[in-house]
Amino acid sequence: MSDPSRNRKPRIRAALAVAAVTGLGATALTALPAAAAGEAVTVQYRQSATGSDQVEPWLKVVNTGSSSLPLSQVKVRYYFKADAGASYTYACSWAVKGCANLTGTFGTLAHPTATADRYLEVGFTAGAGSLAAGADTGDMQLRFHRSDWQPLNQNDDYSFGPAQTAYTAWSKVTATVAGVPVWGTSPTGDAPTPTPTPTDPTTPPPAGAALFDDFDYTGHTDPAVNAHGWSVRSNAGGPGVPGATWAPENVTFAKEGTNSIMNLRTSTAGTGESTRHTEILTRATKFRNGTYAARVRFSDAPLSGPDGDRVVQTFFTINDLKAPMADDYAEYDFEYLPNGGWGEPANILYTTSWETYRPDPWEAVNQHSESRTSHDGWHDLVLTIDDSAIVYYVDGREFGRHDARYLPERPMSINFNQWLIDLAGQTSTTPRAYDQKVDYVLHVKDQVLTPAQVAAKVGAYRSAGTAFEDTVPAAP
C-alpha cells in the first residue's frame, strides 16, 4: 500500500541521533505452539451488503472440537481481489465478544489468483476468552472499505457469497488454531500454513556476524551500555513536542521473570517544558541487509493520569539525510500510535520503508503498511532486507512487503524511541507517563531468517547464557 504523500511531520534528529523510528523484528521467546491436533472449528458466514462502497462479511466461529478453545489461538481469513493501488480500512460494527476483543489485519498473498491477492485476517485478544465445545462466538459484524472510499467490486472476491443471506458454514473462509489450518479452502497455492511451517527450520541458522543484546544492565549509566555501543539520547531537538527534553534517566532496566527488560518512559504534564521523551540507539551506523528482530511491549494506556496523548512507540533503523530528497537516505520503521496522530483518529501500527524526504516544504517518498487495531501488549517484530525486498513480520506473520526501490544504499543505526507528536491529543496539565518495553534486539548480517529461526537463535543465545554479542564489522 504505497502512499508517498502520507502526511507525516519530518523526524529531524539532532546531533547524537541518526534518527527516526526503526523496523526491527522479533519472535516468540517461549516454545512455539504445538500442532492443534484434536482442535476443530467451523466458520459460518453471511454477507450483509452487496453494495459498492464496503465489504461486510459477518462471521461466527464454532468450536466443533471436544474441549474448550482459547480464542486468542484462532485466526480467520477472508480473501478478496484488491483494486490496483488501493489500501483498505477495517472496522467492526458489532460483536457479541466485543469489537475491542477482535483484531483485523490485511495481508498479501504470496501466490495471487484471479479472485484473490489480499486477505483480511481476523483474530482475537485474550479478552475474548475461550469457546466451550459446541459453542460459537455469536455475531461478528465486520466490514472493510477502500481507505479513499472509492467504489469497489465484490463480485470478483474469492470469499464473497452474494447468495449467503443467512449464516452457513462457508469453506471459502479459512481458519487456523495456533497456526495450524483447521477449516476452509484457500485460493489455489495459498493455504494457511502453520507458524512455523513443517519445512521452516527452527534450529539456529549458520553462524554469521550478528548483534544480540538481552538488555541486562543496571541502568543508563552502567558502563556496559556505552561499551556495547549504545547511546542514550540526552541532546535537544526533534522529533515531537517543541521544548521537550530527551531524558536518559527515563531509560531503565529491570528483571521480569527470568528476562531482563529495557523500559522507555515518556511523560508530560501538558507543556513542552514538562515533556520527557526517550531514545536509545547504536552509535555505529553499520547495519544494512539481513534480519532485524526485537520483542517489544506497546502500551495503549498511561501508567496513571488522563489518556489520549499522541504518543509514538517505535523500533527502527535509519541513516542521516545528507540533503533534501537525497536518494541514499534509508529508514525502516515499526511505529505504534495507541491514540492516533498524523490524521489517524485511533490506534494504528505502521511499518514504513523510506526512500527519501524533504523537510520544507514537506515531501515524502515511502511505502507503508498499517493495521488499525490495538496492539497493546508484547509483540515479536521481524524485519528482513535482501537485494529484492523489505519484509515486515508481526508475531510470526507477514505484515507488509515493500518494493526494491526502497532498499538501503548505505548502512544504518538501530534505534528505539518513544515520544509525543504534539500536546493536542490531551490538553490536561495532570502528569501522566507511558511505558514502552523491550526484551531483546537481534541483527544478523546478510542473512534472511524466518521468524522461527529468529526465535531459535535467541533461544540459543539465552541457553548459552550469552547476554550480549556484537560481531558485526564496522562499515567500510
For 308-357, the three-class secondary structure string (H helix, E strand, C coil) is CCCEEEEEEEECCCCCCCCCCCCEEEEEEECCCECCECCCEEEEEEEEEE
Q: Report the sign of the C-alpha dihedral through residues 43, 109, 317, 86, in that order.
A: negative
Report the Cα–Cα distance between both ends of the chain, in Å, rounded.
34
Measured distance CA(382)–CA(454) in Å, rounded: 8
Distance of CA 451 to the CA centre of its chain: 13
Radius of gyration of the chain (CA): 22
Distance of CA 88 to the CA centre of its chain: 17
DSSP assignment of 362-418 equals: TEEEEEEEEE-S---EEEEEEEEE-SS-EEEEETTEEEEEE-GGG--SS-BEEEEEE
Measured distance CA(220)–CA(450) in Å, rounded: 32
Distance of CA 440 to the CA centre of its chain: 16
Measured distance CA(257)–CA(333) in Å, rounded: 29
Burial per residue of 210-241, b for 16 or more beta-carbon CB atoms within 10 angstroms, e otherwise: bbbbbbbbeebeeeebeebbbbbbeeebbbbb
| Closest alpha carbon to 21 in 252, 277, 244 | 277
Count of C-beta atoms within a 10 Å radius of residue 323: 10
Across the chain, which has 476 residues, the per-10-residue mean pLDDT values are: 35 33 30 44 91 90 92 94 81 93 84 88 91 95 88 92 94 90 80 41 70 97 98 95 97 90 97 97 98 96 94 98 96 97 92 94 92 90 95 90 93 98 95 97 96 90 94 94
Task: Tell me if the pTM is above 0.75.
Answer: no
Q: Residues 181, 185, 188, CA angle at the centre, nearest 5°?
A: 110
Count of C-beta atoms within a 10 Å radius of residue 343: 9
Grid coordinates given for 175: 481458519
Measured distance CA(368)–CA(334) in Å, rounded: 10
Q: 395: alpha, beta or left, given left = phi > 0 and alpha = psi -120 to 50? A: left
Measured distance CA(358)–CA(368) in Å, rounded: 18
**In the chain, how long is the greatest CA-to-CA distance?**
67
Place of cell 493520569: 305
pLDDT of residue 11: 41
Count of C-beta atoms within a 10 Å radius of residue 37: 7
Measured distance CA(213)–CA(262) in Å, rounded: 11
pLDDT of residue 39: 62
